[in-house]
Chain A
């Protein structure tokens, strides 16, 4: 289990890019760098803890106002620079606690800030940039919607420190009037409720689950292994469609999202007649 959310992401960002400081003018909580990935120059983005941050509720690798607008700025910059050329891969390293839960954030319309980042990721995807989310730690709720969930392909480490979920366990238990133990028990039976990455993988949303030795300390071997997976995912994204349809056609989706797919098919039939 990762000691602090964001540190694992930071460690991998450093080995992928050889950099460990933000771009000029950016807050300390967002790292962006262009680095070689196979034949490509790729843009890597990562949200990291920043104990000195201006916003008290966004110091522990939460996605807040500055993080959202910085991600949006850096993604839009890559889109603009590549508009007449090869579209560089955009790699979101995901190890985010959540969205920032603060009053300053609500007052200053964090819903719009997060929308600008999600818009930028999706726009990059729709314009032909291969967008890959590499989930190696937490990917919770609005944090993931803002940073990673608009990707063409989602890769995740197969590790107990990886948690993809709508809400962290204690809060979800309180709100659904259950104990944490009850919630865990339910998760074993009902895959979408589970906090286990293996259950998440059953939903058909992941491109691939990666077995990585000692994920907190990237080594030469594991770095080349993950780079190769990223290169494959980039190639797969370039060969595929620019929307998220792969999440609906996967084997997992055909099993776990049968009813949703039925609703979709019925909508198509009735739309044509209406």
Chain B
């Protein structure tokens, strides 16, 4: 038996999660097509962190690459989960919003430019508090403006996950791609435990967290579009497919009647069992999904 057949593909794959934000973004764009914009050598850093004794980073944890995906114009915006938990501050937010707005401008002028958001973030950077919240509102507005012309594809690979206000931004995107290692939710388990008590959510119960926020659950219940293996080739191929598919017929954040009825049907006298919810929601909510 040769080594190639003996070692399964899963072992030989190149992990996406192990890459940093810059390498992740690079791996999704056509080789040689991209250029980094407002990169680390521009040295535009958070003006608020040094005042609080925290070292800033020369890209503020946000990497913007403009290039092509399978020959089509695209911009990839990646948050670095290793810098301040991928949190959104004045500068990282401005970079993301500006790139989305420029993609919208090009798209309106006939050069359809898709955006891919690689979200590893806890949401607002609390050291920039109100500016963090404000930039998230602006990112949301810019996603919605671009989404009228070209798809916005969110990839949550892990392991930070996507929480806080940026989970709402994810909810506004055209497609959400997740790995089994990724989590998606508005309030992280620690926040719920702190605000509503340990009987509401025991944040040390990892099985519970993954059952609720994990990629497998989010895709199975139909609130995310595709579960992918932590594999650079597979994630790149999935992103290419969604770029090619263009806009969905209806965005999920506009399917209000469907979800309102689902919420009305829930038994709220006790906690909701994630597996049963998956069963009752599993029929595909959405048409026009690229497969």
Contact = CB atoms under 8 A, between A and B. Distances in A.
Interface of A: 54-57, 65-66, 69-70, 72-73, 76, 99, 101-116, 118-120, 122-123, 126, 141-142, 144-146, 149-150, 164-167, 171-172, 174-176, 186, 189-194, 200, 203, 205, 243-244, 247, 256-264, 266-268, 270-271, 274
A195 B276 CA distance: 42
A270 B37 contact: yes
B44 interface: yes
Given A243-B145, A257-B90, A166 B172 contact: no
B3 interface: no
Interface string B250-270: 011111110110110010100
Nearest to A107: B272
Q: Which 10 pairs between the two chains have the least Cβ-Cβ distance?
A: A115-B171, A260-B94, A111-B167, A101-B195, A267-B98, A149-B137, A69-B260, A192-B131, A119-B253, A115-B253
A180 B247 CA distance: 46
Interface centre among A57, A101, A166, A262 (most CB of B within 10 A): A166
B171 A69 contact: no
B48 A192 contact: yes
A119 to B, nearest CB: 4
B248 interface: no
Contacts of A106: 185-187, 192, 201, 212-213
Interface of A is mostly: helix
B143 to A, nearest CB: 9
B136 interface: yes
Nearest to B208: A103
Nearest to A172: B126
Interface residues of B, number: 84
Contact of B136 (A72, A76, A99, A145): A145
Q: Which residue, of B94, B99, B201, B263, has the highest number of chain A Cβ atoms within 10 A?
A: B263
In the complex, which of the residues B35, B99, B200, B268 has the most CB atoms of chain A within 10 Å of its own CB atom? B268
22 contacts: A103-B200, A105-B187, A106-B186, A109-B221, A110-B186, A112-B171, A113-B263, A114-B186, A115-B168, A118-B253, A122-B141, A122-B144, A149-B140, A172-B126, A172-B129, A176-B126, A193-B127, A243-B141, A257-B131, A260-B135, A270-B38, A274-B67
Contact of B129 (A70, A145, A165, A268): A165
A266 B185 CA distance: 33
Contacts of A69: 256, 259-260, 263
B91 A260 contact: yes
Given A142-B164, A244-B138, A119 B254 contact: yes
Nearest to B35: A274
Contacts of A120: 256
A165 B126 CA distance: 10
B51 to A, nearest CB: 6
A258 B94 CA distance: 11
Contacts of B132: 166, 192
Contacts of A165: 129-130, 133
A259 B127 CA distance: 16
Interface string B55-91: 0000010001011000000000000000000000011
Contact of B187 (A56, A99, A144, A203): A99
Contacts of A150: 137, 140-141
B274 interface: yes
B152 interface: no
Contact of B44 (A73, A244, A263): A263
B140 A145 contact: yes
Contacts of A108: 262-263, 266, 272, 277
Contact of B260 (A73, A258, A260, A268): A73
A174 B145 CA distance: 36
B52 interface: yes
B189 to A, nearest CB: 8
A98 B140 CA distance: 18
A116 B259 contact: yes
A107 B47 CA distance: 37
A76 B271 CA distance: 30
Contacts of B185: 106, 110-111
Interface in B236-258: 251-257
A271 B93 contact: no
Given A145-B140, A167-B126, A200-B130, 16 more contacts: A54-B268, A99-B187, A101-B192, A101-B195, A104-B272, A106-B187, A106-B192, A119-B251, A119-B254, A126-B145, A145-B165, A171-B195, A267-B37, A267-B38, A271-B37, A271-B102
